[in-house]
Structures are given as C-alpha cells and as structure tokens.
Chain A
Amino acid sequence: MPKTKPKPRKTPSSSPQQTSFHHPGSLLSVNDLALEDIGHVLKLASVLETEDPLKRMKRLFKRRVSLLFYESSTRTRTSFELAAKQLGADTVLVSALSSSIEKGESLKDTGITLRALGAECIILRHPNSGAPYVLSRATGLPILNAGDGMHEHPSQALLDLRTILQHVRGAKAAGPVSETTLKGVTVTICGDIFHSRVARSNMLLLPRLGARVVLCGPSALLPETAADAGPGITIERNFDQALQQSQVVMMLRIQAERLAGLNLDLDEYKLRYQANAERIAAHASKALIMHPGPIIRGLEMTSEVADGPQSAIAEQVRNGVAIRMALLVRALTAKGKTSR
C-alpha cells in the first residue's frame, strides 16, 4: 500500500454555509470570543471577584440558571454553582441519572422543557462533542459549554489564561489582551491530548494571544494531526525537551485503562511523561505547573510537584469561580454583539 497521504488543502466549499443563530451570551467554543471579548471577561472576573458580596448578589438576583449535567463532575459543577449563587441567581441542577434523560428524552426536549420551566441560561456538561450546539439551536438560550465530549471546555481555558496572566503580567492580569500579550511564553500541554477538551480549548485560545503551545505525549494519545488544529501549535514527544522550552506546563489526567488499550504500561508512561520533582528541577525549575484536575497523584504528577511551590493548581480553582461569574453575567446581560 502506498503511504503517501496528500496534505489536505483548506478550500471551503463554494456553497451557502448553514449558519446557526446562537445567543450572543453563549460560550460554546473559545473561538466564539474575539480578543476584545476575552479582555472584557477577564476584567469582569476581576471586578466581580473583589466586589462587595451584597452588591454582587444583585447582579443576577433571582435570575434562573440551569446546570444540565450528563456527566458527573465535582469541580466544574461546584464552581459554576458557586459562581451563580454569589451573583444571586437561582440554580437548578439536572443530572442525567435523576431525570427523564434516563428515560430516553432527547437533548432537544430536555432543553425545551428547561426553557419552559423558566431557565434563562443553561450550563451544559455532555459526553458528546458538539452537544452545546444542539442545545443552543433547540432553545435559543445562552448556553455555557461546561465540557462537551472531546471538543472543548472553554471556561477552563479562560481560567487557565487568567492564571497564566497573573504570573506573567502580575497586577495587569485584568487588562485588555492582544495578539502579543503572551509573546515569548511557551506552554507545554502533556498527556492524553486526544481525549482532552481542556487541551483543545487551551491550544486554540493561547496562541491567539501570542503564546506558543507545545503538545507532548505518546502518539496514540497525541496524533500528528493535532498540530494542524490551529496556528502556533507544535509537537514535541520528548517531555524533557518540551519542559526546557516552557514557562508554563499543563499536565493532563491519564486514565489507566486508556494506557492499557495502547499497550503502554504505567511504569513506562511515568518514566517518560510524569511531572516529578527531579524532572521539574532539572528542566523547568521556574515554570508554572498547572493541572485542570482531577489529579491522579503518582501517575501524571507526583505530590511533591502538585503541592510544590511552582504549582498553580489551587489558583486555577479559585480563578474558576471568578471566570464563571463573569461568563454568567455576560450570558445573562448580553443583548448586542458582545457582553458589557
């Protein structure tokens, strides 16, 4: 069999593309946000974070927010719930295991039902890539994507961005951003890139601000084609070399059962890709170490690194609430093209 594979040319088909209407307050993909919008969200997050709690409660007082979760999630769900509550909104949690979803109701019908019950915004976590688009088309409501399949987790990428900016820019973290804001910053994302929506959102978002994204992992978890997902993305399979270039290192969770499917044993994986104290000290002693959680300690990362001085993991969690407050305010106050 000949192994020559033609490089795909990116010629859009000469056809009227179907364009769907999405509510301007929706966040389905990081690509929905112009740089200006990103700046607004970051600024709003900072304002809300330090705002007087009673004043903040009036922001979305008694507004109705539904959390529709088809997958279990502790961190993202709690983070969104806390964000909504701090803004005074009423939240309703609908999870797949305790609802008519279990009885076979479609996503479309569930969305229409929630809207009829008064939901003004739906936060969706779903195992299928693209599910938020289905929900958006069905309801016309602002939809916040809280993770869809292997596609995206945009609020995570924004909180990661805020975390990075706090370290790179310090006090100016809340200022406007441009395509050079992260110039000179290299971010390595290491682990199961293929299955990771966090990786996709970050690799699409960070290069737009000037960062270089280096992807690292074994080929079965990181296909070559990942480098074509957008500009500013490269692949480096040698973790030590990736670390040497990086100011920021994002480790991803590894599911042991996936390694088994790849004939890669845990020990071998750890040997090559684990963020441990020796490796970080040798190759990235100043880098910021991040992880979207949940961490499997002792697998992709050791406790020394997770709890060490370079770790930004707790900051990420804190930033999550601030970013999600900003996204909720944007979702529920957006009228024109962008949020205010």
Chain B
Amino acid sequence: MKPILVRGGRLIDPSSGVDSPRDILLKDSRVAAVDAPGKLNSAIRQDGAEVIEAKGLVVAPGLVDIHVHLREPGQGHKETIATGTAAAAAGGFTTVCAMPNTTPVNDSPEITRWMQSPERNAQVRVFPIAAATRGSMGEALTEYGALKAAGAVAVTDDGKPILGDAIMRETLIAASRTGLPVIQHAEDTRMTGGCSMNAGALAFRLGLRGMPVEAESSLVERDIRLVAELKDARPHLHVAHLSTARALDAVRRARRNGLHVTCEVTPHHFVLNEEAVGEYHTHAKMNPPLRSETDRQAMIEGIIEGAVDALATDHAPHAAHEKEQEFERAPNGITGLETALGLAIVWLHEKHKLPLSRVLALLSTQPAAVLNLKGRGSLAVGSFADVVLFDPKKQWIFHAADSKSRSKNTPFDGWKLTGKVALTISEGRIVYRA
C-alpha cells in the first residue's frame, strides 16, 4: 500500500488536543508522522507518498460508530457487511461495531470471526459485539472469553434488554472478569408490549400505545444498582441509545458515585422529537422511540455538558416493503451512518456552539475509548491510519436514494446538512472519495 501524505488541512485530533494546520503521513496502515505544514514533503520523494491536498478541509480521526446493525449474517435483503460499511465510509466512519441481532444471533466465536472475514468485503473496520446470552434469550450466558478472543469488543442483547436481575448480575460479573463492557438496550419490556411510539398526549391522539419514559429509566436505574452492588468487580455498563432525561440523570448520579457507567445518544434523539411521527411516518419509528421535546433538549444539554460519552447512530436498515406498512406493524429503526456527521455539525456545532473538536471527540475518540478500541479515534503517531477529510462549512442536501446502504429508511431524506465528507481513509486505504 502506497503511503499517503495529507497536507494543507486543519487537523483536529481530540485525542491529543490538536486543532491547527498540520500535515499527516500515513504509512503501513498507521499514522507515521504529524508535523507543521510543509515539513513532511520529503516523504513524497523518499516514500513515494500519494499526496492529498486538504486545503479548506478538516482532517480528523476516522469516525467510530459503536452501534450499528449490519444485518449479516442472515438479513442481506436489508444490508450486508459490504454495503453497510460502504455507507459507513461515505459518512466518514472507519470503525463500526456491529450488533448481534442477526440471523442467527451472533452468540458464537464462529459467527464473530465470520463477520470479520475478508470475504465479507468490509470497507472499514468491523468489530462485532457479541450476544450476552445465548440466542439473546436472556437465559444462559455466552462464552465471553472465547468471544473476546474471536474479536468481540462488548456483549449485549441489543434489540432486547437483559431483563432478569440475576442474569444481568451474572452478565456484569462475567464481562468484567473478561474485560468486556456490557451494553444494555434499556427497555423494561413489561411496560412496552404493543407499543410503537413515545407515551403521551400525541400517542393517545394517534391511537398508538406509548412506551413510557419509565420503561427506559427504571431499567437504567436497576442496572446501575447492580453495578453499585458489584463495585469490587468494577463492571462497565454502557447504556445504548439513551433517550430520556430521567435515564440520563441516573447515569449522571452513577458517575458521581464513581461507577463505570457510560452512555451513547443517537443523532435522531437529539434532532427529532415525537412530533416527527406526524401522519404515521414509519421512518420516525424506532426503539427507543423519538421522545418529547423536553427529552430531546435534555439530550442536547447532556451532550454539551459532557454527560454523554458518545454519539452512535443505531444504523438500522430495513427494506422499503418492511417500512411501507401500518405503523404498528413496521419494524423499528432508521439508517444513520451517512447523516450523523452532518446532523451533529448542524445541531451541536452550529445551533448550540459546541466546538468542532468536541463534536469530533463524541464521534471518534470517546466512542473508541468506551469500547477500548486501541489505536482508533486518534491521529497520534502509531495509531491506525483511519482518517476522515471533510469540509466543515459545506452545506449539502442528503438524498436517501444516493445512499450507499442497501436500505433507504431515513427520516432525513432531503435535509440540508453541513459538513460534507470529501475522503475517508481506513487503515491507510482510501475507501471513499466524494
């Protein structure tokens, strides 16, 4: 692989606090050098480096999404690892962590390895997150040691919660022993049977059963209680797609008490509220549901104050015919990999003045830290040569039809976003060029 010299750009590396004009040399799939503009030009002759001019562009660590559904094995009509990672590359992501609710469920080292095989033709790095319990049935633990050895970076039953106290306690103990975080999809399903949107006046008016805020917050509170009880084992609980002010408060309290609890928020939960359901638009149906305006604002506040560790897309592709159904029958979820950066820039940076370096930290350095992804989310020398180049001022219209994902189920079709990805480099390989 030819070395790459990216020069003339504004390098923002949240991992080292750099935000200045810097050139960067990528060699042997790693960051070989970072230096003042012009200082690395000798590499062109010495190493035969390909030069990429980054004038007017931000050069940042490739984005890291710790919550995607790539649908393989078994649901290739929605997405494949190849198409999902192509969408990731187009969105500036160089690392994605794939949830285990595939067919079959990824609860074994074999499937974990299968997902990472070169035959999957992944465009960016895929880290599987394995099922916490066999078949994600919430009954018997999977083999955490073997799963970790096969490449799994966390365990979860995402899509379903780990509901029972005893099994969640076992999960936390076994995972901490193995050094894996436990990711919880926090939903007390005893309160959400038959529900398809957020509980409240709007759900009542639309004649839809609503998921109460308490379905999320009570399970987060339960999990935190278990983490506190198991303090000596120091388990790491990560709350997936947190969506309510109450659950966020619980996370804040846990952290004040010194517990290892982290959380992520999706772009749709800080951009949209329940009103987006409108006339039963299934592209506004997801789980957790879009919440009240109060909760949406709480997500923004939590992100700005630093209570939220990471932005994650919960990229959940579904075929058109699956979404073109009665609202209650349509599956949950939307695609998100190609809109995350643009939405984060508009809603966090432009509207709420969060510095670009913090936005990028939330999309790269911090999620990498949450799941201990060594050498990711950083442009320090020796890190993986995962880089995104984007124009931070460029406004563009996102067209779902142009998406690289196999599915087009997004509520953001036709939206004007800011921050257009120009180039994505994954481990030294150019995987996307606008």
Of the candidate stretches B181-189, B200-208, B425-433, the one touching chain A is: B200-208
Answer whether residue A74 sits at the interface, using C-beta atoms and an 8 A cutoff: no
Given the complex, which residues of A lie within 8 Å of B321, measured CB to CB? 106, 108
Answer whether residue B258 sits at the interface, using C-beta atoms and an 8 A cutoff: no
Given the complex, which residues of A lie within 8 Å of B199, measured CB to CB? 225
Give the Cβ gap from B90 to chain A, nearest Cβ, in Å.
Answer: 22
State the CA gap A149–B205 with chains docked (Å). Answer: 12
Answer whether residue A113 sits at the interface, using C-beta atoms and an 8 A cutoff: no
How many inter-chain residue pairs (CB < 8 Å) link A and B?
110
Q: Are A150 and B207 in contact (CB under 8 A)?
A: yes
Q: Are B207 and A230 in contact (CB under 8 A)?
A: no
Checking A5, A12, A126, A152 against B275 with a beta-carbon cut-off of 8 angstroms, the contacting residue is A12
Q: Are B293 and A11 in contact (CB under 8 A)?
A: yes
Give the Cβ gap from B79 to chain A, nearest Cβ, in Å.
Answer: 21
State the CA gap A56–B283 with chains docked (Å). Answer: 44
Q: Are A8 and B294 in contact (CB under 8 A)?
A: yes
Q: Are A8 and B415 in contact (CB under 8 A)?
A: no
Tell me the B278-302 residues at the A interface (CB within 8 Å). 278-281, 283, 292-294, 296
Given the complex, which residues of A lie within 8 Å of B272, measured CB to CB? 13, 15
Tell me the B327-380 residues at the A interface (CB within 8 Å). 327-329
Give the Cβ gap from B125 to chain A, nearest Cβ, in Å.
Answer: 32
Answer whether residue A131 sits at the interface, using C-beta atoms and an 8 A cutoff: yes
Q: Are B204 and A223 in contact (CB under 8 A)?
A: yes
- Are A129 and B208 CB-contacts (below 8 A) given A6-B294, A9-B294? yes
Q: Are B204 and A226 in contact (CB under 8 A)?
A: yes
Residue of B nearest to A106 (CB): B325
Q: Are B294 and A230 in contact (CB under 8 A)?
A: no
Given the complex, which residues of A lie within 8 Å of B278, measured CB to CB? 17-18
Given the complex, which residues of A lie within 8 Å of B204, measured CB to CB? 194, 223, 225-226, 228-229
Answer whether residue B324 sits at the interface, using C-beta atoms and an 8 A cutoff: yes
Answer whether residue B271 sits at the interface, using C-beta atoms and an 8 A cutoff: yes
Answer whether residue B411 sits at the interface, using C-beta atoms and an 8 A cutoff: yes
Q: Are A149 and B328 in contact (CB under 8 A)?
A: yes
Given the complex, which residues of B lie within 8 Å of A230, measured CB to CB? 205
Interface string of A133-151 (1 = CB under 8 A from B): 1100010000000001111
Checking B217, B246, B326 against A126 with a beta-carbon cut-off of 8 angstroms, the contacting residue is B326
Checking B201, B214, B271, B327 against A229 with a beta-carbon cut-off of 8 angstroms, the contacting residue is B201
State the CA gap A17–B280 with chains docked (Å). Answer: 12
Tell me the B203-248 residues at the A interface (CB within 8 Å). 204-208, 213-214, 217-218, 221, 245-246
Interface string of A1-28 (1 = CB under 8 A from B): 1100111111111011110100000001
Q: Are A10 and B293 in contact (CB under 8 A)?
A: yes
Q: Are B207 and A1 in contact (CB under 8 A)?
A: no
State the CA gap A13–B284 with chains docked (Å). Answer: 12
Checking A6, A17, A108, A226 against B245 with a beta-carbon cut-off of 8 angstroms, the contacting residue is A6
Interface string of A192-216 (1 = CB under 8 A from B): 0010010010001000000000000
Checking A20, A106, A129 against B328 with a beta-carbon cut-off of 8 angstroms, the contacting residue is A129
Answer whether residue A107 sits at the interface, using C-beta atoms and an 8 A cutoff: yes
Q: Are A130 and B279 in contact (CB under 8 A)?
A: yes
Given the complex, which residues of B lie within 8 Å of A200, measured CB to CB? 205, 207
Answer whether residue A128 sits at the interface, using C-beta atoms and an 8 A cutoff: yes
Given the complex, which residues of B lie within 8 Å of A134, measured CB to CB? 280, 324-327
Q: Are B207 and A149 in contact (CB under 8 A)?
A: yes
Q: Are B293 and A16 in contact (CB under 8 A)?
A: no
Given the complex, which residues of B lie within 8 Å of A20, measured CB to CB? 279
Give the Cβ gap from B212 to chain A, nearest Cβ, in Å.
Answer: 9
Given the complex, which residues of B lie within 8 Å of A226, measured CB to CB? 201, 204
Give the Cβ gap from B351 to chain A, nearest Cβ, in Å.
Answer: 8
Q: Are A9 and B293 in contact (CB under 8 A)?
A: yes
Answer whether residue B38 sits at the interface, using C-beta atoms and an 8 A cutoff: no
State the CA gap A280–B321 with chains docked (Å). Answer: 52
Given the complex, which residues of B lie within 8 Å of A229, measured CB to CB? 201, 204-205
- Are A151 and B271 CB-contacts (below 8 A) given A9-B294, A130-B326? no
Interface string of B253-289 (1 = CB under 8 A from A): 0000000000000000001110110111101000000
Q: Are B324 and A106 in contact (CB under 8 A)?
A: yes
State the CA gap A107–B327 with chains docked (Å). Answer: 12
Given the complex, which residues of A lie within 8 Å of B415, measured CB to CB? 15-16
Given the complex, which residues of B lie within 8 Å of A1, measured CB to CB? 214, 217-218, 221
Q: Which of A28, A130, A194 has the most CB of B within 10 A?
A: A130
Q: Are B280 and A130 in contact (CB under 8 A)?
A: yes
Residue of A nearest to B213 (CB): A5
Q: Are B325 and A13 in contact (CB under 8 A)?
A: no
Q: Are A152 and B281 in contact (CB under 8 A)?
A: no
Give the Cβ gap from A218 to chain B, nearest Cβ, in Å.
Answer: 16
Answer whether residue B414 sits at the interface, using C-beta atoms and an 8 A cutoff: yes
Given the complex, which residues of B lie within 8 Å of A17, measured CB to CB? 276, 278
State the CA gap A2–B315 with chains docked (Å). Answer: 33
State the CA gap A80–B257 with chains docked (Å). Answer: 64
Q: Are B201 and A225 in contact (CB under 8 A)?
A: yes
Given the complex, which residues of A lie within 8 Å of B217, measured CB to CB? 1
State the CA gap A53–B432 with chains docked (Å). Answer: 70
Residue of A nearest to B327 (CB): A130
- Are A15 and B329 CB-contacts (below 8 A) given A6-B245, A152-B207? no
Given the complex, which residues of B lie within 8 Å of A106, measured CB to CB? 321, 324-325
State the CA gap A253–B329 with chains docked (Å). Answer: 26
State the CA gap A150–B325 with chains docked (Å). Answer: 17
Interface string of A211-243 (1 = CB under 8 A from B): 000000000000101101110000000000000
Q: Are A108 and B324 in contact (CB under 8 A)?
A: yes
State the CA gap A18–B218 with chains docked (Å). Answer: 33
Residue of B nearest to A134 (CB): B326
Q: Are B207 and A197 in contact (CB under 8 A)?
A: yes
Give the Cβ gap from A194 to chain B, nearest Cβ, in Å.
Answer: 8
Give the Cβ gap from A244 to chain B, nearest Cβ, in Å.
Answer: 26
Interface string of A141-180 (1 = CB under 8 A from B): 0000000111110000000000000000000000000000
Give the Cβ gap from B215 to chain A, nearest Cβ, in Å.
Answer: 13
Q: Which of A5, A138, A200, A226 has the most CB of B within 10 A?
A: A5
- A-B CB contact pairs (8 Å), 9 listed: A15-B415, A18-B413, A108-B321, A129-B327, A130-B206, A130-B328, A134-B280, A225-B200, A228-B200
- Residues of chain B touching chain A, judged by Cβ–Cβ distance below 8 Å, are 199-201, 204-208, 213-214, 217-218, 221, 245-246, 271-273, 275-276, 278-281, 283, 292-294, 296, 321, 324-329, 411, 413-415
Known: A106-B321, A228-B201. 14 other contacts (CB 8 A): A11-B273, A13-B272, A13-B275, A15-B415, A106-B325, A108-B324, A129-B207, A129-B328, A130-B207, A151-B207, A152-B207, A200-B205, A226-B204, A229-B205
